[in-house]
Amino acid sequence: MPRPLVLHPDRLFPADPGVRALARSLYEQVRDLPIISPHGHTDPDWFATDEPFGDAVKLLLAPDHYLYRMLYSQGVPLERLGVGSRRRVAGIEPREAWREFASRYSLFRGTPSALWLDQVFGHVFGLTVRLDADTADLYFDSIGEALQTPAFRPRALFDRFKIEVLATTESPTDTLASHLAIRRSGWPGRVISTYRPDPVVDPEHEQFQDALERFAGLTGQDVHSWRGYLEAHRLRRAAFAEVGATATDHGHPTAATADLSEREAQALLGKILSGRFSAADAELFRAQALTEMAQMSLDDGLVMQIHPGAFRNHNRAVFESHGRDRGADIPQPTDYVRALKPLLDRLGNDPRLSMIVFTLDESAYSRELAPLAGHYPVLKLGPAWWFHDSPEGMRRFRERTTETAGFYNTVGFNDDTRAFLSIPARHDVARRVDCAFLARLVAEHRLTEEEAAETAVDLAYNLPKRAYKL
Amino acid sequence: MPRPLVLHPDRLFPADPGVRALARSLYEQVRDLPIISPHGHTDPDWFATDEPFGDAVKLLLAPDHYLYRMLYSQGVPLERLGVGSRRRVAGIEPREAWREFASRYSLFRGTPSALWLDQVFGHVFGLTVRLDADTADLYFDSIGEALQTPAFRPRALFDRFKIEVLATTESPTDTLASHLAIRRSGWPGRVISTYRPDPVVDPEHEQFQDALERFAGLTGQDVHSWRGYLEAHRLRRAAFAEVGATATDHGHPTAATADLSEREAQALLGKILSGRFSAADAELFRAQALTEMAQMSLDDGLVMQIHPGAFRNHNRAVFESHGRDRGADIPQPTDYVRALKPLLDRLGNDPRLSMIVFTLDESAYSRELAPLAGHYPVLKLGPAWWFHDSPEGMRRFRERTTETAGFYNTVGFNDDTRAFLSIPARHDVARRVDCAFLARLVAEHRLTEEEAAETAVDLAYNLPKRAYKL
Amino acid sequence: MPRPLVLHPDRLFPADPGVRALARSLYEQVRDLPIISPHGHTDPDWFATDEPFGDAVKLLLAPDHYLYRMLYSQGVPLERLGVGSRRRVAGIEPREAWREFASRYSLFRGTPSALWLDQVFGHVFGLTVRLDADTADLYFDSIGEALQTPAFRPRALFDRFKIEVLATTESPTDTLASHLAIRRSGWPGRVISTYRPDPVVDPEHEQFQDALERFAGLTGQDVHSWRGYLEAHRLRRAAFAEVGATATDHGHPTAATADLSEREAQALLGKILSGRFSAADAELFRAQALTEMAQMSLDDGLVMQIHPGAFRNHNRAVFESHGRDRGADIPQPTDYVRALKPLLDRLGNDPRLSMIVFTLDESAYSRELAPLAGHYPVLKLGPAWWFHDSPEGMRRFRERTTETAGFYNTVGFNDDTRAFLSIPARHDVARRVDCAFLARLVAEHRLTEEEAAETAVDLAYNLPKRAYKL
């Protein structure tokens, strides 16, 4: 007998009846606001072609490393989940992979993945029973059938989700063909790009040399000269801005910045290009690139996002067999105070610059990030990110940053996802958790209800729009 | 239509009605206890001269870096807030500066600054509407007029606030003239000094050479000899004790201590005085000075306070234009386990010594500080400090230290403020938050109500009095 | 008039009536489950000989460094508490030592020690008044008398406590005589050993050279050769497995692991044995030993526990006078991401290996440990440990690990204690806190009640049994 899938209207609100009533009332005022998604990893080609999404595994399981990392941690081989290796696509039947997942769905108890998925299952697909081994086939069939209908095409969902703007993320070497096709298509959905230059900025990226060559090719610049290298960035940033980009994004291992002279930078570039460089050289190169990106933002106005702190591809065997982005990135302690200083010394008080900083190291929230954002005009705090994009994680973010940085040095929510169907659920979780936090402040007489309502709307809608210049 | 300013009698108490009733009952027993303020930065001259305070900007805004750092972070130039630069006083009319602040008061939602200020506005000045752009002038005028009346002179407020003892902080080169004047005046208010030798202990302090010269002058010692340098400290400590000081305070970048031989210390002093020293030399000098201060405390009984962990003057441009203490100090990770060991190896078990340690790095609460204070007889934990002197910060402090260090290795509350008018509000917030924490323990049957009541009084009154030997 | 000792049936449950009802209902389902104690430090000789325990001081105070460290921090000399020094046993009468403790029992307000002790006093000894100076003698006499009765012999208590399995911890040089005696005795209680090789793995352990000699003697191996040294481990691990051991345990200062070639390892061993080694050599030796232990686990199936992060014997004077394990171990920041990589690179995906990692650095929960355990098949997270084995500590553990690692990459509770009588209380606290956490998730509609009930039983019973292969 299948168990009912219930999405309680008060989910994520505090249990105390008085606080819950306040949270519910705040949430009423933000629930239906349009979605601003200024940072994410959906595929612009979906919106360019508007093709159907395929099946449940291809859409929901295989691309979501939150899901398969948990299953892998419990001994399920990636191939059994439809995740292909470098050498070959996973041989398993999608239905079989889905069953593997469904029969272990209880592993996700208490995780945000379960919250998001249940909302996708219930609200997007209209499923009314819980996922488990017994309902695996029902799920697989229902989802598969729905995906073949026009209502589940990417553009139809985009409208249904009330997305006002959706930013994707591309490499400088991307031709932006999908974005250009969207613009040519006449479809009014606002899908924009974000400039993410890591492949041509990180000498330790496995595609660095190739990417650099394509970078040179696309821009016609001599990227062996520091001036040419910077000019290539300028040209690509302009091309990205033409397809709507308002921001850049930088996913470095640390937040290190530098302020080298042009001569030093040229010498460093030469060393990097020679291939004979140390880890410290690579770090310095990335550090200098961040400062150059900030400098360029003064001219082109792109908002800068710094996402540091992941030790990428920690699992050597999985990296060798399956490549990057396979759930094996692990956060590490991240310094901001010394790391950002060279950049801030040069540009930290310039009103033309806006930098949004994220962290995977929650100990930095109250110690470094809130104090920095509560002082420097150029700095804002990105929301609780990645492993911390969760009810407890968001609560900690507000509890630890608000008293020093306030609400207005933060920028609302980023879903940061490639799981398109979960976007409404993710924003819904963020809105609920922020309303729960605000409700507590009201209940403790630290805010008036009127102030909390205004703040809730700002967090859900106005702040991201303003911070990302949308 | 102005909105009413309501200071709810249950503010900061938990929302659950049962826990709230317990918190309220505990708070009743501590609300009216006299204020012990053993660590702060008010100006003793106020009490020596008892002159009126001036206007709202001069009293409340311009000296409070919690306030103007937030406004600066949102793009308001310091000059617009009445904060003068090194070269000139702020040219703005005080009323204009106040309007800048008032019109952005919503930035402080959810911050302790708003809690403190609203209580100052409501309880000290009797204002009944909220501060915003529309009420800015009303506020400026009301406050300005009140400050001209006798009831708002420093000594009258001191009495009204029921301050039993107020400690200020002075440099060793201070002549203590204000303190001496207070004592001569016959006014019975207990205002005492605290010995804060940073300017003559920190070779990287921009006034170090000057301060050292004055230090030598005041004491008649040859501060080029290690013995003379130490003797100068001894003499100034004695002079401070004569104006009531019971404590020293040390605001170093780290908690490093050292235990050099006299010969090594002499050589280090020589190097420092030569001006040709490294950052490591400066660190070692400060480290050795801490241990010497501890050693002197064995003889003169002064309680030692260590406040480490701030990267001072992080914003280079602001430091160059406006000098130190402009809201640009940023906390950084702070080690205690290795840092304090040299001092503790020498003096950690000596019953004559008492050291109160503070932190800006909350990750050290449960990891290092509670375990250290729960073992070493000389160590006590200072309260949640600076950026963490806030409801959430205080709650985290209790949640993370109590289970290992108990309540009785902590020392009650320090307001640590130069904002004299906010002192009652700050102590009130601390009392409310401690009562809220204790109420939860009672509600969860982890303490009896009787135990909680006794502990609440200890935290509010007995512990600071005992810890600071007042 | 003595105050009643009340152990409220709802203790540690959230105050909100709705959540409390949920917590109580979950707790009903785990309260009476048998105790699985897979990691602890009781003395197997108690169960081998079944002799009476002595008096209250010998049983409850003198061996419990949680207790005497707090008293010591408040100025009570260890001797006054019945804790002997290296040179001589404490001269104090046990009754006097007990009075010292009893009269300061209020120091333990809000600590887990008070929770555990009150439950021992009330449930194990049937005391009905609270401990304080006035009731000290009543307690001392009642406890002393009870301990002479058959119902308070070790085996009788073992049965009364419903312990299904109890693991002790022994050094490789232990002959396991007590464990062998237990097995020969025919008593059916399941008391097993754990292989803790620190004394022969840590070159900085003060007994290293002696222990190594005994290690060689017991195994007949040439421990000067790397192969002989490893073979000696293999033999002792097998002997431990014969007395029931299913796990090893490693209490290193850091989590460092290494992956040296055999030649490098042999050279390192030679250097260590020569006695002329640096701190870095010692660290590398311990690091390599961890990887070798993991490798051996592939063959013999012992589960590996890594307990890093304590700066041992921090108080030099206390170490010199009283030796190790005297409450002076202090946690320090602990890296896992880089530290574990050499071991994980070699064995991190091998289904035969199971490693349980603990921490004293709570900042690593959400940053490193949950992400690692939520990915690597070999890793599981040990429960909140040592200073964090407390209601707030356990709550933080669940709040910070569940969303990334789930419940099923954790292993239930470890009491980790030498305080045998407190074992039921410690498991009871853990069960209550886990039920409180689960109840909140149910109240916030993040889990169904059915899921929470199943999870509660898993945490209390199934997970430790499975994780430790019991």
| Domain-located, residue A453 | yes
| Domain-located, residue B257 | yes
Measured CA to CA, the distance from residue C344 to residue C379 in angstroms comes to 9
- Whether A332 sits inside 8 A of C377 (CB atoms) is no
| Residue in A with minimal Cα distance to B359 | A367
Measured CA to CA, the distance from residue B323 to residue A53 in angstroms comes to 60
Average pLDDT, chain C: 97
Q: What pLDDT, on a 0 to 100 scale, did the predictor assign at position C321?
A: 94
Does C1 score more than 90 pLDDT?
A: no
Q: What pLDDT, on a 0 to 100 scale, did the predictor assign at position C87?
A: 85
Chain segment A198-224, per-residue pLDDT in tens? 999 999 998 999 999 999 999 999 999
Tell me how close the Cα of C373 comes to any Cα of chain A, in angstroms: 7
Residue A60 and residue A35 share a domain = no
Is the model's pTM score more than 0.80?
yes
| Domain-located, residue C9 | no
Q: Select the residue from B83, B334, B392 to test the A interface by mutation, using most A Cβ atoms within 10 A.
A: B392
Chain segment B161-204, per-residue pLDDT in tens? 999 999 999 999 999 999 999 999 999 999 999 999 999 999 99
- Whether A407 sits inside 8 A of B112 (CB atoms) is no
| Domain-located, residue B146 | yes
Q: What is the CATH number of the domain that holds C129?
A: 1.10.2020.10
Q: B408 at the C interface (CB within 8 A)?
A: yes
Q: What pLDDT, on a 0 to 100 scale, did the predictor assign at position B88?
A: 82
Grade residue A87 by pLDDT with cuts at 50, 70 and 90.
confident
Chain segment C83-123, per-residue pLDDT in tens? 988 888 878 999 999 999 999 999 999 999 999 999 999 99
Chain segment A102-129, per-residue pLDDT in tens? 999 999 999 999 999 999 999 999 999 9
Chain segment A382-413, per-residue pLDDT in tens? 999 999 999 999 999 999 999 999 999 999 99
Selecting from A73, A329, A332 the residue whose C-beta is nearest the C-beta of C377 gives A73
Residue C455 and residue C445 share a domain = yes
What's the mean pLDDT in C55-74? 94
φ/ψ (deg, to 5) at C331 = -65, 155
Q: What pLDDT, on a 0 to 100 scale, did the predictor assign at position B278?
A: 98
Q: Which residues of B touch C12 (CB under 8 A)?
A: 444-446
Residue C90 and residue C215 share a domain = no
| Domain-located, residue A402 | yes
What's the mean pLDDT in A324-335? 94
Q: Which residues of C touch A115 (CB under 8 A)?
A: 446
Q: C363 at the A interface (CB within 8 A)?
A: yes
Q: Which of residues 300-329 of C touch B (CB under 8 A)?
A: 311, 314-318, 327-329
Number of domains in chain C: 2
Q: What pLDDT, on a 0 to 100 scale, did the predictor assign at position C257?
A: 98
| Domain-located, residue C4 | no
- Whether A446 sits inside 8 A of B391 (CB atoms) is yes
Grade residue C152 by pLDDT with cuts at 50, 70 and 90.
very high
Measured CA to CA, the distance from residue B437 to residue A268 in angstroms comes to 55
What's the mean pLDDT in C340-369? 98
| Residue in B with minimal Cα distance to A15 | B16
Chain segment A278-315, per-residue pLDDT in tens? 999 999 999 999 999 999 999 999 999 999 999 999 99
Q: Which chains touch A (3 or more CB pairs under 8 A)?
A: B, C
Does C214 score more than 90 pLDDT?
A: yes
Q: Select the residue from B12, B73, B107 to test the A interface by mutation, using most A Cβ atoms within 10 A.
A: B73
Chain segment B252-275, per-residue pLDDT in tens? 999 999 999 999 999 999 999 999
What's the mean pLDDT in C50-67? 94
Q: Which chains touch B (3 or more CB pairs under 8 A)?
A: A, C
Q: What pLDDT, on a 0 to 100 scale, did the predictor assign at position B265?
A: 98
Residue B236 and residue B305 share a domain = yes
Does A160 score more than 90 pLDDT?
A: yes
Percent pLDDT > 90 in chain C is 97
Percent pLDDT > 90 in chain B is 97
**In terms of C-beta distances under 8 Å and separation of at least 24 residues, what long-range contacts does B153-161 make, across chains too?**
B153/B50, B153/B51, B153/B52, B154/B46, B154/B47, B154/B50, B154/B51, B154/B53, B154/B420, B155/B47, B155/B50, B155/B187, B155/B189, B157/B124, B157/B420, B157/B421, B158/B47, B158/B189, B158/B191, B159/B189, B161/B35, B161/B423, B161/B424
Q: C404 at the B interface (CB within 8 A)?
A: no
| Domain-located, residue B1 | no
DSSP conformational letter for A466:
H
Answer with the one of B120, B151, B182 that is the final residue of a domain: B151
- Whether C446 sits inside 8 A of A13 (CB atoms) is no
Answer with the one of C86, C115, C150 that is the final residue of a domain: C150
Q: Select the residue from B64, B315, B362, B368 to test the A interface by mutation, using most A Cβ atoms within 10 A.
A: B315
What's the mean pLDDT in A79-90? 87
Tell me how close the Cα of C383 comes to any Cα of chain A, in angstroms: 17
Does A89 score more than 90 pLDDT?
A: no
Q: What pLDDT, on a 0 to 100 scale, did the predictor assign at position C131?
A: 98
Tell me how close the Cα of C380 comes to any Cα of chain A, in angstroms: 9
Which residue is listed with tokens 């000699």? Answer: C213
What's the mean pLDDT in C138-142? 98
Residue C142 and residue C117 share a domain = yes
Selecting from B351, B447, B454 the residue whose C-beta is nearest the C-beta of C110 gives B447
Q: Which residues of A touch C335 (CB under 8 A)?
A: 332-333
Grade residue B107 by pLDDT with cuts at 50, 70 and 90.
very high
- Whether B404 sits inside 8 A of C387 (CB atoms) is yes
CB pairs under 8 A between A and B: 131
Grade residue A88 by pLDDT with cuts at 50, 70 and 90.
confident
Selecting from A371, A444, A446 the residue whose C-beta is nearest the C-beta of B387 gives A371
Residue C136 and residue C47 share a domain = no
Tell me how close the Cα of C154 comes to any Cα of chain B, in angstroms: 29
Answer with the one of C135, C150, C165 that is the final residue of a domain: C150
Q: What pLDDT, on a 0 to 100 scale, did the predictor assign at position A31?
A: 98
| Residue in B with minimal Cα distance to C4 | B448
Q: What pLDDT, on a 0 to 100 scale, did the predictor assign at position B410?
A: 98
| Residue in C with minimal Cα distance to B377 | C73
Q: Which residues of B touch A14 (CB under 8 A)?
A: 15
Measured CA to CA, the distance from residue A323 to residue A313 in angstroms comes to 8
As for the ipTM of the complex, it is 0.97
Residue B174 and residue B77 share a domain = no
- Whether C110 sits inside 8 A of B349 (CB atoms) is no
Q: B18 at the C interface (CB within 8 A)?
A: yes
Q: B445 at the C interface (CB within 8 A)?
A: yes
What's the mean pLDDT in B33-38? 98
The residue segments making up the domain with residue B90 are 53-151
| Domain-located, residue B454 | yes
What's the mean pLDDT in C317-346? 96
Q: Which chains touch C (3 or more CB pairs under 8 A)?
A: A, B
- Whether C18 sits inside 8 A of A13 (CB atoms) is no
| Residue in B with minimal Cα distance to C16 | B16
Does B17 score more than 90 pLDDT?
A: yes
Residue B195 and residue B93 share a domain = no
- Whether C3 sits inside 8 A of B448 (CB atoms) is yes
- Whether C348 sits inside 8 A of A315 (CB atoms) is yes
Residue C94 and residue C77 share a domain = yes
Q: Which of residues 78-107 of C touch B (CB under 8 A)?
A: 106-107
Q: Which residues of A touch B393 (CB under 8 A)?
A: 366, 403
Average pLDDT, chain A: 97
- Whether A408 sits inside 8 A of B107 (CB atoms) is yes
Average pLDDT, chain B: 97
Q: Which amino acid is at C31?
A: R
- Whether C351 sits inside 8 A of A388 (CB atoms) is no
Selecting from A11, A111, A362 the residue whose C-beta is nearest the C-beta of C445 gives A11
Selecting from C11, C75, C393 the residue whose C-beta is nearest the C-beta of B446 gives C11
Selecting from C338, C351, C448 the residue whose C-beta is nearest the C-beta of A75 gives C351
Q: What pLDDT, on a 0 to 100 scale, did the predictor assign at position C322?
A: 94
Q: Which residues of B touch C111 (CB under 8 A)?
A: 402-404, 406
Chain segment C124-135, per-residue pLDDT in tens? 999 999 999 999
Q: What pLDDT, on a 0 to 100 scale, did the predictor assign at position B1?
A: 74
Q: Select the residue from A367, A376, A400, A442 to test the B interface by mutation, using most B Cβ atoms within 10 A.
A: A367
- Whether A445 sits inside 8 A of B14 (CB atoms) is no
Q: Select the residue from C445, C459, C463, C466 to test the A interface by mutation, using most A Cβ atoms within 10 A.
A: C445
| Residue in A with minimal Cα distance to C380 | A73
Tell me how close the Cα of C253 comes to any Cα of chain B, in angstroms: 13
Residue A138 and residue A195 share a domain = no
What's the mean pLDDT in A244-249? 98
What's the mean pLDDT in A241-256? 98
Measured CA to CA, the distance from residue C462 to residue C466 in angstroms comes to 6
Q: What is the CATH number of the domain that holds A347?
A: 3.20.20.140
Residue C423 and residue C344 share a domain = yes
Selecting from A112, A314, A393 the residue whose C-beta is nearest the C-beta of C337 gives A314
Residue B202 and residue B169 share a domain = yes
